[in-house]
Structure 1
């Protein structure tokens, strides 16, 4: 068993056993936090404007068949999150003002990197979305948000992830591309998802009851994604800023008669980065920027009885990237989940999703040309200087989310990866996964 597995197991076990000593009935199905309400102190603090969070997410993946090594490997990865939100209107009488601080720590290994993909190929998907950006402590959030005109206009400033406010999407899955914002999966050099934070500012204007327009400016700074030490996770300087990423997004939240007036959310957005970007097809060529566009849609399709939260939901996400500078030219995601499938389990859900990476054909052509220049015509599984030729990768997941209580979630899942890392010669992979989330 590797060190990451044992560390996660010890941490989880110690926290669980500690909770038994600290509180009565820690496994109650209506328990909000595993450590309880601190004899009422937690609720009282929230009423005064102080909300504290602590959570552990662990994701395990077992290779059932296929992949580059085809040896049924097992890996686990985890993330610890510690945070606080402050209602500054209650605390300091600053009207419509909130603030947040969040620190995260990730550890473990990825089954995709260790067993599923050809190690010579660049990564596309991942069967464990909580993996990545280094096994270090990170300052993930440190921002202040101020509302004006009854919060019709909101200004947010500080350290934040870009998908906190733009290209945001639901996360009901363990697979990376089926979880959360899509841009960080294909343009990760300029767009930073959780747990990375950057200096940024954004403005959201609700100009009609159903319509909101947002614009932001975020630094492009490679120092923010360094992983050599914990100090890299708390980098606050702007010494090596290379430019700015500027997203614009229009959000529509209707209740359409077509869907029985159930809530929906539709977003269309675009970004431009001013940082220099290398051409993916021509060595040594650079461009003075890059761009992407996206469309996100989430719609509740049905409602189960009188419970507004139970029913069938659908989500569709699509990203189109600049073909001159981006290896992944586009991504598409379609997912469904049903909340409250059984009357006895109103908080559980069943999920099914498909997600696809489309590799830029200019990248594929360059890989083929490189291999031809080295004398390779067919796939070579062993040559160190062979460059795996990449095409599309498809990810599929079926899961069941067992919500024992608001404090404890278990999500067993089955995943299928078609053409891992887009390499046709690598066997398609089947993976059994398990996500565990505990709110302390």
Structure 2
């Protein structure tokens, strides 16, 4: 392929070749591993599982010291994710890019450590570095082909929180938190942002902060085996996007993000296959500029006037997950875990049309885990669309002299094959298709060939 001769293309083809060698030589991973990559926007969930099962990590039990710490309430884990991609068609130029993330956590069970009943603490650090295929290739897509790129290639304090159980059903969490870790938390199924992490944060990232960015906040939750309800409050402070390491600012807030969510855990059909059905929404009290109107109340066609300020913004989302075949395990008050079989995922997200460049997103995914020839591998097919706000499209059309088509919807398709090479490493070759990139119907379809790799230490 021609694009492998540009920029970092030599690295990309070597990396792709090494990864395919792993695919060919891989043996079926043991069942006690953390299978099939990241399972949520907040990657520390998967890391905690790894910390509790040292055999599933590259560095093992540290001669028994890891188990010694865990028995006393301290879990430690770290993981590295690499995402390499190149565009075979579309964009302004053929090239490749690779980006990386290191995440490390320390979870403290205060009940084990100091007899503090029901209390846990978390410290999470992340570091990102690399390059963005959208910029390097000129793709114009609305979201990232490489989901771990973005929010500054820097080291961050991503989590610093305290969680307290209050009896059998109530709990609260406070501290520095990524909003998407606890609200609108969609499993990370692919390498494209459409299907990985809280959809609201991917669409409206100035008001809803996903991993790895955190902000001061907290939430209160009621949880039962059948359903849950939670509501939170998070500081709205754009300084949290600073591209540097900091513990957290205590001034500079412009408002508050107020999310709420409820969900049902149901079992369907004669096999009682589990499903999770969630609905949520949010209000942001910070002011935001209108996407179309200037301060004179007219479309900002000629420029020169600042945009009209809206006093608040809002949005909502639906998220469904339903297992269709296979087997599963579950614990009371927790979502079921698919062991083998086909699972369907659907999301519908709406954000504020007065202030957001993108007004809605719909996605649908099918994932089959536990293939006959490799019982810990998975195949995923995901389709999604983002709709450019018609008010923004109208403004741009006026500014262009009412010439050419208006921006509309972008469509993304991705298919992945996840190979659980060992309990502590997975590789995920994928192909992506971006139709109407950026909502521009006149732009050619972008085809991206990618490889996602994860190691748990």
**What TM-score comes out, normalization by structure 2 length?**
0.83
Contact 1:221-1:238 at 8 Å conserved across structures = no
1:377 corresponds to which of 400, 403, 408? 403
Partners of 2:189 and 2:264 in 1: CA distance: 22
Distance 1:426 1:308, change over 3 A: closer
- CA displacement 1:118-151 (0-9 Å, x = unmatched): 4xxxx5111101110011101110101000113x
Tell me the secondary structure at the aligned position of residue 112 of structure 2: helix
- Matched with 1:44 is 68
1:261 corresponds to which of 254, 266, 272? 272
2:143 corresponds to which of 125, 128, 134? 125
Tell me the secondary structure at the aligned position of residue 438 of structure 2: helix
Mapped pair 1:298 → 2:321? yes
- Matched with 1:21 is none
1:137-286 equivalences under 5 Å are 137-150=155-168, 152-206=169-223, 208-227=224-243, 230-231=244-245, 234-256=246-268, 258=269, 260-283=271-294, 284-286=307-309
Partners of 2:181 and 2:88 in 1: CA distance: 34
Distance 1:89 1:139, change over 3 A: same
- Matched with 1:426 is 443
1:322-401 equivalences under 5 Å are 322-342=352-372, 344-372=373-401, 377-378=403-404, 390-401=407-418
Mapped pair 1:100 → 2:122? yes
Give the CA deviation at 1:304.
5.4
Contact 1:4-1:109 at 8 Å conserved across structures = no
Tell me the secondary structure at the aligned position of residue 45 of structure 1: helix
Partners of 2:160 and 2:235 in 1: CA distance: 15
Mapped pair 1:288 → 2:305? no
Contact 1:219-1:245 at 8 Å conserved across structures = yes
- Matched with 1:386 is none
Q: CA RMSD in A?
A: 2.4
Partners of 1:262 and 1:3 in 2: CA distance: 46
1:54 corresponds to which of 78, 81, 98? 78
Tell me the secondary structure at the aligned position of residue 355 of structure 1: strand
Partners of 1:113 and 1:264 in 2: CA distance: 39
> Which 10-residue stretch deviates more, 213-222 or 43-52?
43-52
Give the CA deviation at 1:187.
1.2
1:60-139 equivalences under 5 Å are 60-67=84-91, 69=92, 71-118=93-140, 124-139=142-157
Partners of 1:66 and 1:226 in 2: CA distance: 32
Tell me the secondary structure at the aligned position of residue 399 of structure 2: helix
Tell me the secondary structure at the aligned position of residue 171 of structure 2: strand
Tell me the secondary structure at the aligned position of residue 212 of structure 2: coil
- Matched with 2:347 is 317
Tell me the secondary structure at the aligned position of residue 237 of structure 1: coil
- CA displacement 1:79-107 (0-9 Å, x = unmatched): 01111111111011111111111110111
**What TM-score comes out, normalization by structure 1 length?**
0.86
Give the CA deviation at 1:44.
2.3
Contact 1:147-1:155 at 8 Å conserved across structures = yes
Tell me the secondary structure at the aligned position of residue 376 of structure 2: coil
Structure 2: any 5+ residue segments left out of the alignment? 1-5, 19-26, 31-54, 295-306, 330-336
Structure 1: any 5+ residue segments left out of the alignment? 14-26, 380-388
Partners of 2:433 and 2:253 in 1: CA distance: 39
Partners of 1:243 and 1:4 in 2: CA distance: 44
Give the CA deviation at 1:4.
12
Contact 1:125-1:393 at 8 Å conserved across structures = no
Number of equivalenced pairs: 398
Contact 1:34-1:438 at 8 Å conserved across structures = yes
Contact 2:28-2:420 at 8 Å conserved across structures = no
Partners of 1:326 and 1:140 in 2: CA distance: 25
Contact 1:259-1:300 at 8 Å conserved across structures = no
Partners of 1:210 and 1:400 in 2: CA distance: 33
> Which 10-residue stretch deviates more, 159-168 or 45-54?
45-54
